[in-house]
Amino acid sequence: MTARRRWIAAALVLVGAACGDIATPIRIDFYEWRLIVPAASGTGNDSLTFHWPKDRLPVRIWVEDSASLPENVPTAIAAWRRAFLYEEFDATIVSDSASADVIVRAGGAPGVQFSRVRLHSALASECAGATDLDISDDHTQLRLPVRMYIDPRSDPNAAGLPECLALTTTHELGHALGIWRHSGVATDLMFADPAVAGPSERDLATAEVIYHLTSNVEPVGP
């Protein structure tokens, strides 16, 4: 799908959104991205959707100098930029973790979470990933920073490790930009255990749709 066709898909979603909440996608070009959690009050569930607002761009990302992260994170940023016609998302690497919106570290996610929600993914033998989201009790705020973990859990010389680290980094950045759910299709990068090198057209279309709908979660801090 071309960028123009993805834009048309997003426009159709906006028309649909004007008529009410979207229960399922109206096209097969994108998938459900919202995080479904027990309601903050009362019964039922809350559907949480998030994207970085324009006044928070570029998203500031601090990257640990390990596990090829300094090479893979800029590549991941460039891969997701492809989803957007009008620079709705952008990110930059910063040197000070204290001012970062997103912190990317090598190694396994800690046993004590920095968050209410942890998205596990990329459960390959070579490497694994996780993203922690610190969501407020009332489900209206995302407390920054978002924390990404890229774990090279195999021998440094293991076959396939560089490819696993690269695709896992791009996958976790997809969560950080707002895809808070895994795709059910194995050919999408946002599948729970991805095997493709970069975002599929469905991944890119999903990201674009998110950034043309209203968020009900806003970033706060650092």
CB 206 within 8 A of CB 80: no
DSSP the chain: --HHHHHHHHHHHHHHHTTS--SS-SSTTS---PEEEE-SSSSSEEEE-----GGGPSEEEEE-SSTTHHHHHHHHHHHHHTT-SS----EEEES-GGG-SEEEEESPPPSS-SSSEEEEE---SS-EEEEEEEE-TTSSEEEEEEEEEEE--S-TT-TTHHHHHHHHHHHHHHHHHT--S-BS-TTSTTBSS--SSS--HHHHHHHHHHTTS--S-EEE--
Q: What per-residue confidence (pLDDT) applies to 113?
A: 63
128-149 mean pLDDT: 95
pTM for this one?
Answer: 0.86
% residues pLDDT > 70 (the chain)? 84
Cβ atoms 159, 167 nearer than 8 A? no
Mean pLDDT score across all residues of the chain: 86
Residue 11 pLDDT > 70, yes or no?
A: no
Place of tokens 């109206």: 26
Q: What confidence tens digit (pLDDT) does each residue in 52-97 have?
A: 999 999 999 999 999 999 999 999 999 999 989 889 999 999 999 9
- pLDDT band per the 50, 70, 90 thresholds, residue 28: low
Give residue-wise pLDDT tens across range 156-207.
Answer: 778 889 999 999 999 999 999 999 999 999 999 999 988 899 999 999 999 9
pLDDT category at 120 given cuts 50, 70, 90 is: confident
